[in-house]
């Protein structure tokens, strides 16, 4: 299936990669190494490639801190045909929500960078019912989702739909931002 990311295709995740995502070593190292490697490769290739894309559909998401400073981080994403993205605030199953999800709750407008292009988006937090309906797409973007849910037992994993700003502008209704669970 085409993933909407500069002509790349979503690859089925090899079972070995899925198992690796559940290991203690991955849990200890990945939150520190993967985002840094992805940002470095992204800069070096002028936005055209990140190592994480070898295994999972990944975008760069730029949000705003409360004081207006940008915060850019790689996130796994499911691309919709309409230009929207589904992103999961798993934080590798750690106890705290990732900073980018806190930023989206405070300030829903953001920017997705994919395929060397920036796409203005607005974030909509999904309800638990919507998360259940989106489960197949969540598992496509993050096959270890259930493992991260169990690991982060003290917090629900936030799931957002990032809607292209052009779709929001052209819609007379739009969707309102929902508060955090």
Per-residue pLDDT of 130-141, as tens digits, reads 999 999 999 988
Tokens 């060397």 sit on residue: 116
Identify the band that residue 25 occupies on the pLDDT scale cut at 50, 70 and 90: low
Tell me the C-alpha distance between 139 and 151, whole Å.
16
Average pLDDT over the chain, rounded to an integer:
78
Continuous H helices in 5-163: 15-20, 24-44, 99-106, 128-133, 135-141, 145-151
| pTM, 2 dp | 0.71
pLDDT for the residue 7:
39
pLDDT score of 82 more than 80: yes
Quick: pLDDT tens for 139-178: 988 888 998 899 898 899 999 999 998 876 655 444 444 5
Rounded CA separation 111/126 (Å): 18
**Residue-wise pLDDT tens digits, 110-132:** 999 888 889 999 999 999 999 99
Q: Dihedral sign for Cα 160, 34, 13, 94, please.
A: negative
């Amino acid at each position: 299936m085409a993933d909407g990311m500069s002509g790349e295709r979503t690859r089925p995740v090899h079972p070995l990669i899925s198992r690796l995502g559940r290991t203690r070593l991955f849990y200890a190292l990945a939150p520190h190494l993967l985002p840094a490697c992805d940002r470095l490769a992204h800069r070096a290739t002028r936005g055209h490639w990140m190592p994480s894309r070898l295994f999972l559909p990944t975008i760069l998401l730029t949000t705003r801190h409360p004081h207006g400073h940008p915060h850019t981080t790689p996130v796994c994403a499911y691309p919709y045909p309409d230009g929207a993205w589904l992103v999961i605030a798993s934080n590798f199953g750690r106890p705290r929500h990732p900073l980018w999800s806190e930023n989206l709750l405070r300030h829903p407008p953001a920017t997705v960078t994919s395929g060397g292009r920036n796409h203005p988006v607005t974030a909509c937090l999904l309800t638990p019912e919507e998360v259940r309906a989106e489960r197949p797409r969540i598992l496509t973007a993050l096959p270890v989702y259930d493992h991260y849910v169990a690991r982060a037992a003290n917090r629900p994993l936030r799931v957002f739909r990032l809607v292209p700003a052009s779709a929001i502008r052209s819609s007379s209704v739009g969707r309102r931002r929902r508060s955090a669970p």
